[in-house]
Amino acid sequence: MDVEQCIRDNIPWTKLPDDVKQMLGNSAKEYDKLILEYSIRNQLRHKTNLVRNVKAKPNDYYDILIRYSASHLMLYPYHLSDVINKEMRITPFSYYTNIILDMLNSEKSYDSLPNFTAADAVRLLGIGRNKYIDLMNQNRSYRKIFNLGRSITQVMPKTPQNVKLDAWWRVRTGNICEADVKVLLPEEKKMVDAILDHEKDTREGMVVGSLDRSILQLLIERGLVYCDVPVEESDHIYLAPLDGFVMNRVLGDYFENLLYKIFVAIDEQTTVKEMADMLHIDLQLVKNAISLFCRLGFARKRITGIESVQLHPSWRALGIIVGGGGQPASGRSPSSASSSIPSPNSPNSAPLSPSQDESAVPLVADFGSLDDQMDDDDSEDLNALSIASKDMAESFSSNPSSTSELGTSNRAAFVFDSSLAAFLMMGNLSQSLKSHAVTLFEVGKLADEYMADFLEQLESVNQFAEGEAQRYSEHAMALLDSLKSLKEEVETDMVRGESLLSLDSATRARVLAKSYGILVAMAPLSVDACTLPISSIPFIGPSNPESSSPWFRLSIYGLTCSGPTSLFYPKGSCISHLPSLLCRSPRLLLSSANHEPQIVSTHHILPTLNDLLMTNAYFVQEYPAASDSPELVYVPFPYLDEEKQDKDAFVNHPAIIKLNDQIGLPSMCGYVTLLQRKAKEKQSEDKENLKEDRAEEKRRDTITIPLPESVEQRVGGNLQSGETFEDYVVLDCVFGIPLFNRTLNQSICERVRQKKILHVNNRTNIQFANKMVIELVDEIIKKHNGGITNIREIFGEVEPKKAEMLPPTQIIVYDAKSGKVDTRQGLL
């Protein structure tokens, strides 16, 4: 047990384990110091935690806490509003105003604001990146022309923005003094009295929707009242696209780490209590985090509890029935970005008849001329707020269980890595995709319920015919095809592999097994995204980081006796001369676990390779000279019966037949990459041509694959005239659905459908195939890695901050002539 865990568990000094006391030098004062530091850093409540024994006066403690939080640019402690706001009169608006002023006066970059803090400051102050830069320029001008006597505070917002409220929130009184009451209008004073009386009688805040919106907004702007966002353990939560999220930096404090853990774990079919149990996190902390998400508009409740409340007429403009239980004007699904209505596909919602869909849900009210009365804020609120009907609430509460076994088996996750989110953020593809791309990157998840809107945005992506833009649009269209294909078979979420690292491996397994029956990866999937505990769930993708690395390629080369001559160099190697095994090749392919492959001319490889080896282990492979013939052939699997009947089809390549039998390709999907070596041999026979090729290589920049413009490629097919299978060697075998080549993508998606790869009956076969891959890779590692066989032998029991491939400890070689994998100590 570590010290912080003891503090979280409220263990006093007298009851600390002896080993923890020894860590603290048997000093109770040192423990008190750490208690205070930890409590302030994590914004703990005074009266319910050990810090009450260290700082006797709550006011002193909270004063330190708020100053520390502001100086470290942390989120406003909403969970302590009853103290910070009500007693100390520090509102979220004043808190963020002081933070922005301090940043301006210190001339700090806007990027220094952590993501969630920036998002909340934008919500309340309306100060985003551009506005901040403008204020910074104004502040510098005031300093230069100091005789004007102006200050940057004069152009700062004086009151909070007209922040959006949800009708189910609750309002409480803040710090109200006699001077405040004197200036209140009668209707304002009446509302304050009503809120005070309700608090006195029930110890709860009044439901926001029961009050006049305009008057309530005025009281909030003056800081006289504040809103609680109540979250109960039985609530079901779903995520909305991250409109308003600011991508600056990650602070890394305990609460922010907690926020990211919950982001990736939120599942609308799981209650808050179930989520806390699944994550092994204190229930109150989970409630605090979800409450913040709802406040920022990043998450919503499925059922809010407002359904039976008599709402004030001022909420009519938002499409909420007045006096009718809070029923919305139309039935909108979560795919419309902010509805609280369960989706038709949800196991907890009433099934729709075959002739009924979302658009067929009848309107329960028509407010007609009210549209003319709505201002811009009301129009935005109409898009941002919709409350579930009472009937749906009753239906849902009568069936509160989470996902059924059938529901889980019929739900899949498409696992992608950060490169895909980066592609989708490119503005020249589609501006409307950006909020989804931010959600995919920051949340690390896009639920099936929002997929309709996402697919619609992908449909409108701009198409480009050349350059990097072509690559981005190719990925976007292949992603569209993939998701459509998957959704024909199962409900499909998107999950970013790297985001799962916010969870420890055991929690990761629980979260995935709770929500999904099968996982399917984009291909190729980066090592950083290989975070999935495949033993607990069927996964079509890299079985572990090593199976997405050179280790796997070495394994299949040794298995099939087919592949280009390859050397796997450990990080830190220094090469004085190129081994003779590689000198015969005009070009070399350089790969690492963390970077895209590069094709480099052999004659100037040494300085490039030595520089690269300073930071990573590298895989160096012979590569044929440039030619007019295809260099790469992608052979999609699972293979079709009609393909096998053609003796010249690439599926009948001896190496592919062996892979098919030995590592379970019939039950998986993906592609085998074949490298054509015939062109290299022909070029080698013509010395003059070889000279010209090498001269051309000198003039070329390094090329990246899988889609360099100069690399010819084809998908599947047969040998061409005069070719034999010996002209092609295995370069790689990749599991999953590729996005870099639309023809390959469509071929694999069709095979998945025809061969029923995602069917429940095939899932045991998938797990067996993964087991075979892991055993194959483990065998190579045990034999050739100097006794280091597990990443934990390097990192110990502490889990690494990112997915890590086991590095090689010595040079490992695949010799194409012998068809064997071995170590070569004499090559350095």
pLDDT per residue over 394-426, tens digit each? Answer: 333 333 333 444 457 789 999 999 888 888 887
Please indicate, yes or no, if residue 475 is contained in any of the structural domains.
yes
How far is it, in rounded angstroms, from Cα 532 to Cα 525? 12
* Structure tokens that stand for 427 in this block: 């503005």
* Structure tokens that stand for 273 in this block: 């209590």
Maximum mean pLDDT: which of 141-150, 307-316, 483-492: 483-492
Does position 693 have pLDDT exceeding 90, yes or no?
A: no
Does 524 sit behind a cis peptide bond, omega within 30 degrees of 0 on the bond before it?
yes
First to last CA, the chain: 46
Sort 48 into a burial class: Cβ within 10 Å, 0-12 / 13-18 / 19+: exposed
* Structure tokens that stand for 206 in this block: 């009044």
Residues 263, 256: contact at Cβ < 8 Å? no
Write down the pLDDT at residue 97.
Answer: 95
Residues 396, 342: contact at Cβ < 8 Å? yes
Write down the pLDDT at residue 690.
Answer: 45
If you write DSSP's letter for every residue of 238-305 in order, what string do you get? EE---TT----B----HHHHHHHHHHHH--TTSBHHHHHHHHT--HHHHHHHHHHHHHHTSEEESS-S
Tokens 């032998």 belong to residue: 793
Does position 372 have pLDDT exceeding 50, yes or no?
A: no
How far is it, in rounded angstroms, from Cα 180 to Cα 221? 13
Backbone angles phi, psi at 779, to 5 degrees: -65, -45
Please indicate, yes or no, if residue 776 is contained in any of the structural domains.
no
Q: Characterize the bridge pairing of strands 598-601 and 703-704.
A: antiparallel
Within 8 A by CB and 6+ apart from 57, the residues are: none
* Structure tokens that stand for 481 in this block: 């095809």
Maximum mean pLDDT: which of 142-156, 306-320, 552-566, 568-582: 552-566
Count of domains for the chain: 2
Q: Characterize the bridge pairing of strands 728-735 and 670-676.
A: antiparallel
Per cent of the chain over pLDDT 70 is 80
Backbone angles phi, psi at 281, to 5 degrees: -125, 145
Residues 299, 286: contact at Cβ < 8 Å? no
Write down the pLDDT at residue 801.
Answer: 65
Residues 220, 295: contact at Cβ < 8 Å? no
Q: Characterize the bridge pairing of strands 618-623 and 713-715.
A: unpaired
| Largest separation between any pair of C-alpha atoms in the chain | 99
3-state secondary structure string, 456-488?
A: HHHHCCCCCCCHHHHHHHHHHHHHHHHHHHHHH
Provide the pLDDT confidence category of residue 150 given band limits of 50, 70 and 90.
low
How far is it, in rounded angstroms, from Cα 399 to Cα 312? 30
How far is it, in rounded angstroms, from Cα 579 to Cα 814? 13
Please indicate, yes or no, if residue 656 is contained in any of the structural domains.
no
How far is it, in rounded angstroms, from Cα 334 to Cα 346? 11
Please indicate, yes or no, if residue 673 is contained in any of the structural domains.
no
Out of 112, 142, 162, a domain closes at 162
Question: How many other CB atoms are found less than 10 A from the CB of residue 772?
Answer: 14
How far is it, in rounded angstroms, from Cα 409 to Cα 395? 23
Tokens 């209008």 belong to residue: 185
| DSSP type of residue 249 | B
Tokens 């934008």 belong to residue: 122
| DSSP type of residue 505 | H
How far is it, in rounded angstroms, from Cα 272 to Cα 220? 29
Average pLDDT over residues 317-342: 43
How far is it, in rounded angstroms, from Cα 540 to Cα 414? 10
Maximum mean pLDDT: which of 545-559, 573-587, 786-800: 545-559
Question: How many other CB atoms are found less than 10 A from the CB of residue 5?
Answer: 10
Residues 84, 72: contact at Cβ < 8 Å? no
Lowest mean per-residue pLDDT among 109-118, 698-707, 765-774: 698-707
Residues 195, 206: contact at Cβ < 8 Å? yes
Provide the pLDDT confidence category of residue 453 given band limits of 50, 70 and 90.
confident
Q: DSSP 3-state assignment of 225?
A: strand
Please indicate, yes or no, if residue 629 is contained in any of the structural domains.
no
Average pLDDT over residues 119-131: 92
Average pLDDT over residues 671-692: 61
State the residue range of the domain holding 89: 3-162
Does position 102 have pLDDT exceeding 80, yes or no?
A: yes
Q: Which residues is 300 bridged to in the sheet?
A: 238
Average pLDDT over residues 599-609: 86
Write down the pLDDT at residue 764.
Answer: 93
Please indicate, yes or no, if residue 515 is contained in any of the structural domains.
yes
Write down the pLDDT at residue 466.
Answer: 64
Out of 542, 577, 597, a domain closes at 542
Write down the pLDDT at residue 695.
Answer: 47
Sort 340 into a burial class: Cβ within 10 Å, 0-12 / 13-18 / 19+: buried
Write down the pLDDT at residue 754.
Answer: 94
Provide the pLDDT confidence category of residue 442 given band limits of 50, 70 and 90.
confident
Write down the pLDDT at residue 584.
Answer: 82
pLDDT in tens, 344-355: 333 333 333 333
Sign of the Cα pseudo-torsion (192, 197, 202, 203, in order): positive
Write down the pLDDT at residue 387.
Answer: 33
Report H helices in 672-730.
Answer: 678-685, 687-699
3-state secondary structure string, 529-573?
A: HCCCCHHHCCEECCCCHHHHCHHHHHHHHHHHCCCCCEEEECCCC
* Structure tokens that stand for 95 in this block: 């808190």
Write down the pLDDT at residue 362.
Answer: 29
Please indicate, yes or no, if residue 337 is contained in any of the structural domains.
no
Please indicate, yes or no, if residue 157 is contained in any of the structural domains.
yes
What's the one-letter identity of residue 517? G
Out of 162, 190, 219, a domain closes at 162
Lowest mean per-residue pLDDT among 239-243, 441-445, 634-638: 239-243
3-state secondary structure string, 24-93?
A: CCCCHHHHHHHHHHHHHHCCCCCCCCHHHHCCCCHHHHHHHHHHHHHHCCCCCCHHHHHHHCCCCCCCHH
Write down the pLDDT at residue 659.
Answer: 94
**Number of alpha helices (DSSP H) and beta strands (DSSP E) in the chain:** 33, 22
Per cent of the chain over pLDDT 90 is 42
pLDDT in tens, 713-731: 789 888 888 889 999 999 9
Does position 273 have pLDDT exceeding 80, yes or no?
A: yes
